[in-house]
Structure 1
Amino acid sequence: MTESDLTLPAATLNIATRQSPLALWQAEHIKDRLMALNPGLTVNLVKIVTKGDKILDTPLAKIGGKGLFVKELEQAMFDKRADIAVHSLKDVPMVLPTGLTLGAYCERAAPTDAFVSNNFDSLEALPQGAVVGTSSLRRQCQIKAYRPDLIIKTLRGNVGTRLGKLDAGEYDAIILATSGLQRIGLDERIRSELNIDISLPAVGQGALAIECREGDEQVLSLLAPLNDAKARIRLIAERALNRHLEGGCQVPIAAFAVLEDSNELWLRGRVGEPDGSVLLKAEQRTRLKPLTTPDAQAHNEQLANDLGIAVAQQLLDKGAKQILQNIYSA
């Protein structure tokens, strides 16, 4: 696409973004990619403070989950103050507001959880009774299942705030997304990455997604080159699992899909009690079509969606519904 193909006002695009360092990095990254693809395009950042950024002393599960980080950005698109919003996909609710869509699933970065500590090299190296900080019930339930002796304490705030609390001695270790630390140049703080068998990632972890108005063909065309077909298939499966569980974002649900060399899509899912006393597991594979025919992508996306539903149903059959209902009613 060239500048002459654009029908946006004066060839400009406005990106709604939160003001945390990580959110700004993500928005700037997409801005740079779009401008490189379209040299005549002007891209502006519309910086917004969300409710999730304002309430820092309460666990996310108690105030509505991670959807609190996107609502104000979505309103900016409805108000035409912004054309797109760049999100960490793991923060995006499973059901989008009517009129909005995910216009691009970008190439996925590291999906793992990072172990960050000033005194210990790994989760295994922590002494009995060590204090670990995380804002995620998913991380909490899996870590407690693996190391029931550890004490998990809530940790909120942006990456810098969380690292500051670790450095102040409030925690022996904290768990953060590997991709977030890497994106803002803090790789050196990562002592190790948690094995996926111990801590299965969050739905969409490591992936950026771009939200826009449904039917805005000019913007959708502009975003099309940023779509990663293989990442999209994996992420559709993960989000379908979470959607079928009616899980939202801030719940003890994990899902991770891998596209294997045999063209098989392998999806693993977990649901656990926050205290780690129960950790339900399910998995399934499906074979995809080679991406050589025009209808292959759409066919594979439907297979991915069906796979997500099937693995979610396995978890429900094992008792996931009661676990999640107890959390919602707490």
Structure 2
Amino acid sequence: MKTLKIATRKSILAMWQSEHIKDRLTTQHKDLNVELVGMKTKGDVILDTPLAKIGGKGLFTKELEESMLRGESDIAVHSLKDVPVEFPQGLVLAAICSREDVRDAMISEKYATFDELPKGAKVGTTSLRRRMQLLIMRPDLEIISLRGNVQTRLRKLKEGEFDAIILAMAGINRLNIKDEVKHIYPFSLSQMIPAMGQGALGIESVEKDEILKEIEFLNDENSVIETTIERAFVARLNGGCQAPIGISAKLKNDEIFIEAIVGMPDGSEFLREKTVVNKDEYKSVGENFANEFIKRGAKELLMRAEAMANAL
């Protein structure tokens, strides 16, 4: 029986995602044995420093990629929002799975909605993108860096360190944590634009035909179209996974509705645009949409955003 090895982070969410892909693979290929190879990444180990200060790109993928390049594993399962837009030679983004809920959500033990948060409320997130959009809506909030896995974040919330924390709805749904907290308030896309690829799983693979053929069934056409646009937008802006950039592409029938935001981590300055294009344009529209932002000074804005992030 052939064995396929999946490199995965050891967090509960990462393990859920890898087990999910393992189940799909073994259901599709009855003669395939799938093993999980758990490991820690730089982003898992360094928990006392904001993500933007410890390397930016590849914080949750580099060790998994090195495992594949050494031949110790064949594929890696990632949250696509954590996956850089460029890959080491010999590795490819082989599949993008169907998306979960792409929205961000506020979780609180005291407050049912975002508007109920009192003035000066302490809100936990490490994402510069979330920080920026929270402060655009509510400049009075105190945004505090919050690292660690989902369980660590929930514990800190329950212990009273925060009035609310921000998580992705995809993770909330996958781990089924609705019963563990009192209030979950999903932000609308008009309130908070998600990260590129949010809600989708990306399967990175060694560039071998036999492995690529085994996993190609995992591709979801709608997810591929939407995330191709989102990733191209971020790539054109040269923005890493931690940059204050939000981008959402939503396919409805033959039209794609796209909205993006780029700005300063403190919400003091930002660019926001939306557009609608035909489905046939998906391969070029991400870069073209980014060019419109660049004309309005997005690259200079992101350089200043990086300097501000390093000073936080």
Calculate the TM-score normalised by the size of structure 1: 0.90
Q: CA deviation at 1:66?
A: 5.4
Q: Alignment partner for residue 291 of structure 2, among 293, 303, 313?
A: 313
In the other structure, the counterpart of 1:125 is 116
- Corresponding position of 1:238: 230
**Does the alignment pair 1:198 with 2:191?**
yes
2:9 is the alignment partner of 1:31: no
Kept in 2: contact 1:113–1:176 (CA 8 A): yes
Asked if 1:77 corresponds to 2:55, the answer is: no
Output one character per residue of 1:139-159: Cα deviation in whole Å (capped at 9) or x when no partner: 000110011111111100000
What CA distance in whole angstroms lies between the structure 2 residues aligned with 1:84 and 1:36? 17
Q: Which position in structure 1 is the counterpart of 2:127?
A: 136
Match of 2:300 in 1: 322
User: Corresponding residue for 1:114?
Assistant: 105
3-state DSSP of counterpart to 1:67: coil
Contact 1:284 1:307 in 2 (8 A): no
- Does residue 61 of the first structure (1) align with residue 52 of the second (2)? yes
Q: Which runs of 4+ in 1 moved over 4 A?
A: none
**2:213 counterpart letter in structure 1:** S
CA distance in 1, matches of 2:303, 2:185: 34
Map 1:1-330 → 2, pairs under 5 A: 10-65=1-56, 67-188=58-179, 189=181, 191-214=184-207, 216-261=208-253, 263-288=254-279, 300=280, 303-329=281-307, 330=310
Three-state SS of the structure 2 residue aligned to 1:191 is: strand
Inter-partner Cα distance in structure 1 for 2:195 and 2:29: 33
Separation (CA, whole Å) in 2 of partners of 1:276 and 1:226: 38
CA distance in 2, matches of 1:48, 1:86: 12
After TM superposition, the structure 1 stretch with the greater mean CA deviation from structure 2, 106-115 or 277-286, is 277-286
Runs of at least 5 residues in structure 1 that lack an aligned partner in the other structure: 1-9, 289-299
Tell me the alpha carbon deviations over residues 198-219 of structure 1, each in whole angstroms, 9 at most, x when there is no partner: 10010000000100012x1111
Inter-partner Cα distance in structure 1 for 2:167 and 2:266? 19
- Which amino acid in 1 is paired with 2:303? Q
User: What is the CA-CA distance between 1:285 and the residue it aligns to?
Assistant: 2.3
Match of 1:207, as an amino acid?
A
Amino acid aligned to 1:259? L
Mark the runs of 5 or more structure 2 residues left unpaired by the alignment.
none
